[in-house]
Structure formats: C-alpha cells, structure tokens
Chain A
C-alpha cells in the first residue's frame, strides 16, 4: 500500500528526519497561505501515487504566494499516469549542493531487507546502477537481529562519501532502516536526500509502501496519517468486478478468495496456493492464453466462498471457460473447492464439464475431490501434471 509523499514525510518527521517547511493545500487559498507562511520561494507538488510528476507538469516553482495560488489551479487538473491529484504539497524551495539516494526494500531472493545507497540521487537509480555502479552500494541486513548505525555508515562509505557528509548522513539512513522494519514496509525511499551548501541534509522527496497485510497491525499510524480503511491504494481505481471480488472475500471469514484483479481475456482463473496464483497466471500467458482475471484462493475457503467466486468470474462478460488450478495444497481441501466450483457453475446456469477447462488442485482430500469432479464429467488432473502443463491444457481448450 503506497503512501502519498506528504504522508511519507509525516512519518519521516515523526522519526526526526530533517525536512523543509511545508504544508498541504487543498485549495488555491490554502496554497497561497502556506506559501506566505513559508516566506520565500516554494515548490508545489501534486500528490499522486505515481512517479513522472515533473514530466507531466505537476511540479511547479513559485516565488510569491499569488504565484503559488495560480500554480495550484494549474496543477490540480493534471492527471499523472492516469492518477488524479489529491492535494498539493507546498514546500520551501531548497538550494541543493548535492543529491543522494537512500532506499530500503525487500530482497526476495536473499529473504532479507537491502539498503541501496547512492551519492548520485535525484535521478533514476537503475540508470545510476548501470552507468555508474561504483556510486551505488547494496547492503543486506537482518530483519531479525538488532541493527546498528554501523550498517548504514558502511553502506554510505562504500560509495566514497567521507567526513562530515558521512557523519551527517548516517543517522538519517539508519533511521530510514528503522522505519522500514518498524512499520512492515516493502519500500522506504528518500530521493533526493539533499545536502545544502551549509552542509545540512534535507529530505526532499520520499516514497513509502507498506505491506498490505500489515494494515491491521498499524491501524493507529494509518489513522494518524488520515488513511482510511476504505483506501485500497492500488495503482488504479478498483473496477466493479474487483469490488465484487472483495465483497465475496469479506462476506465469509473462512479461507481466502480475494485479490481479484480484472483483465480482458476469455479464460477465467480460480487459482492460488503458496505463490501458485502468480505462477499459474504467468503459465497461462506463456502458453498464449488470455486471462480474464487474477485471484488468490487458499486457506481452505468454504464451499459458498468458492461458489460465489466462481459465479462472479463466470458472470464476467467475455469469459468462456474457467481454469481451476492450485499448487499442491495441504490446508485447503480439494473436495471443498470442487464442491464450490461445481455449485458455482450450476448456479450460473453452466454445465461444469463445459466451462471448467481444467481442475488441477492436488493435495488434501483429493480422493474425495476427484470423485466429485468425475461425477460431473470435469477434466481434472493430479500432481503428476505440473502447474505449467495444466495451464497449457486449459489454454489449448480455448483455441
């Protein structure tokens, strides 16, 4: 779940990170007032959950409050990568001597956080890493054992930063590491982290992504930041189909049938299990299939939950068949899912054997599940058929 820049900065401010004077404006009058309070040149930045603001013209500079008010009116209607402006952050304009980059994200392969630091901030870090690798350091650290400022210091020093700058940067970067761990973030980034002419450092822009599953754990923080439980913070607005998917999941506490995402293909997917959803979705595409949706089922959903999800997917215009596929399951019952899916097909007015392209869920209670599938003439397979092969069989039936 992504935070707006002003929310990221509010969190940084709580942790004592150095920030310039700023205020959030939701009207031209407010922009003018904030600019007057700051007193001096300001920068106005559209608050959107997307990069590319400068390129879109959604960042502007003003030397006087009246100019800030005019810029506010210009910025608000601009869509940045399809995102509407929520508000405008008015900040003091800071004369920068040098820009740095600091970010912590999760390294899935190493299964631990990684701190990425560069003394070439303000620009695309991937580009810096490619053209100037000596200016980028990557430092892994444990999320289980205590961390120390030394980790941050070594990461910064690895890019050639020394002396006063190294000493001033270390506590900022260390605090960023602490923030990352404390709030279950998947990204904590400062770019640029600016050094001023007098040697002080200021956070000019920040990005935070919180693990969506951690929202419950951090209710108070989110409430303090004004982030309501209804805000999904996805890259785009949820479609009616996706909203219905969320309702199906929320209506029954048993198991999971959620994260429904709409696509425009003809093969509906009822997929899941320990990363199986992503693997199966990719496999369908690899075989040339066109998924109508993405979803995640698991945790032993009830019959009614599997049924409602199936009905929803079958109700989507353009869906010709569904593929019901999971990784090998242990805590999800094959027979329960089979019952739900078949019931969903029948209640949707479809013949299960016609619309279920493949049923590939091996695991707990598969013997009972296969009896049910056999009775309804559904094409099913066990674990001797890989997820990739099962996806191929489903796609083949669409041609």
Chain B
C-alpha cells in the first residue's frame, strides 16, 4: 500500500546499486528502504508514512537522486 502522506522517488542508478541500497537501508530510521535478494533497492511501502523528513537518505545519496515527496502539499 503506497503512502498516504509521503512518497519516495529514487533514480534507477541508485536503486540498482547494491552499495547504495545498503547505505539507504542503514540510514533510514524508520525502515523505508530495504534490499532485494539481488541487492537492489526495495521500498517498504507500509513504512512510507512513518518518514520523519530527516533527509538522511537524501544526504546519503548523490545530489538529486533521492527525492521525498510530501503528498499533502
């Protein structure tokens, strides 16, 4: 189930990179990111609305490759 308040957009270059996927999974305090079995990035949809807007994922990624979208704006 997608988020009601928050959506996350990740560029394919980051999503397909296991090292980046691991980094995102580590930094997110509310477990929005995980890794698929092949190491690529998985978005845990049920946790999207828990996003605290901390920007840790944005800061951990190359500029502009991860975007947090506030669906209520």
**Which A residues fall within an 8 A CB radius of B?**
302-304, 333, 336, 339, 342-343, 346, 368, 371-372, 375
Residues of B within 8 A of A371 (CB): 70, 72-73
- Cβ of B55 within 8 Å of any chain A Cβ, yes or no, is no
Residues of B within 8 A of A372 (CB): 5, 72
**Which B residues fall within an 8 A CB radius of A?**
4-5, 30, 49-50, 52-53, 70, 72-73
* A366–chain B nearest beta-carbon distance, Å: 14
Residue of B nearest to A302 (CB): B50
Residue of B nearest to A346 (CB): B4
On whether the beta carbons of A303 and B50 are closer than 8 Å, the reply is: yes
Residue of B nearest to A374 (CB): B72
* B39–chain A nearest beta-carbon distance, Å: 28
On whether the beta carbons of A368 and B4 are closer than 8 Å, the reply is: no
Residue of B nearest to A342 (CB): B4
How far is A339 from B53 in the complex, measured between Cα atoms in Å? Answer: 13
Of the candidates A302, A304, A368, the one whose C-beta lies within 8 Å of that of B53 is A368
Chain A interface main SS type: helix
Given contacts A303-B50, A333-B52, A368-B53, contact A339 B73 (CB under 8 A): no
On whether the beta carbons of B49 and A343 are closer than 8 Å, the reply is: yes
Residues of A within 8 A of B5 (CB): 339, 343, 372
* B31–chain A nearest beta-carbon distance, Å: 11
Most A C-beta atoms less than 10 A away, residue of B30, B49, B53, B72: B72
How many inter-chain contacts with C-beta < 8 Å in the A-B complex?
24
Residues of B within 8 A of A342 (CB): 4
How far is A330 from B10 in the complex, measured between Cα atoms in Å? Answer: 32
Residue of B nearest to A369 (CB): B72
Residues of A within 8 A of B70 (CB): 368, 371
* B47–chain A nearest beta-carbon distance, Å: 9
Residue of B nearest to A376 (CB): B72
On whether the beta carbons of A336 and B52 are closer than 8 Å, the reply is: yes
On whether the beta carbons of A304 and B50 are closer than 8 Å, the reply is: yes
How far is A304 from B50 in the complex, measured between Cα atoms in Å? Answer: 8
How far is A17 from B49 in the complex, measured between Cα atoms in Å? Answer: 57
* Inter-chain pairs besides A303-B50, A343-B4, A368-B70, 10 sampled, C-beta below 8 Å: A302-B30, A303-B49, A339-B4, A339-B49, A342-B4, A368-B53, A371-B70, A371-B73, A372-B72, A375-B72
How far is A304 from B4 in the complex, measured between Cα atoms in Å? Answer: 12
How far is A339 from B52 in the complex, measured between Cα atoms in Å? Answer: 11
Chain A to chain B contacts (Cβ below 8 Å), 23 pairs: A302-B30, A302-B50, A303-B49, A303-B50, A304-B49, A304-B50, A333-B52, A336-B52, A339-B4, A339-B5, A339-B49, A342-B4, A343-B4, A343-B5, A343-B49, A346-B4, A368-B53, A368-B70, A371-B70, A371-B72, A371-B73, A372-B5, A372-B72
How far is A185 from B43 in the complex, measured between Cα atoms in Å? Answer: 48
How far is A57 from B63 in the complex, measured between Cα atoms in Å? Answer: 78
Residues of A within 8 A of B49 (CB): 303-304, 339, 343
Residues of B within 8 A of A343 (CB): 4-5, 49
How far is A375 from B73 in the complex, measured between Cα atoms in Å? Answer: 8
Residues of B within 8 A of A333 (CB): 52
Residues of B within 8 A of A303 (CB): 49-50
How far is A302 from B50 in the complex, measured between Cα atoms in Å? Answer: 7
Residues of A within 8 A of B50 (CB): 302-304
* B29–chain A nearest beta-carbon distance, Å: 10
Residues of B within 8 A of A336 (CB): 52
Residues of A within 8 A of B30 (CB): 302
Residues of B within 8 A of A346 (CB): 4
How far is A346 from B5 in the complex, measured between Cα atoms in Å? Answer: 13
* A359–chain B nearest beta-carbon distance, Å: 14
How far is A375 from B4 in the complex, measured between Cα atoms in Å? Answer: 12
How far is A336 from B30 in the complex, measured between Cα atoms in Å? Answer: 12
How far is A351 from B72 in the complex, measured between Cα atoms in Å? Answer: 16
How far is A304 from B1 in the complex, measured between Cα atoms in Å? Answer: 14
Residues of A within 8 A of B4 (CB): 339, 342-343, 346
How far is A371 from B52 in the complex, measured between Cα atoms in Å? Answer: 15
How far is A302 from B73 in the complex, measured between Cα atoms in Å? Answer: 21
Residues of B within 8 A of A375 (CB): 72
How far is A398 from B72 in the complex, measured between Cα atoms in Å? Answer: 28
Residue of B nearest to A304 (CB): B50
How far is A284 from B52 in the complex, measured between Cα atoms in Å? Answer: 32
Residues of A within 8 A of B73 (CB): 371
* A304–chain B nearest beta-carbon distance, Å: 7
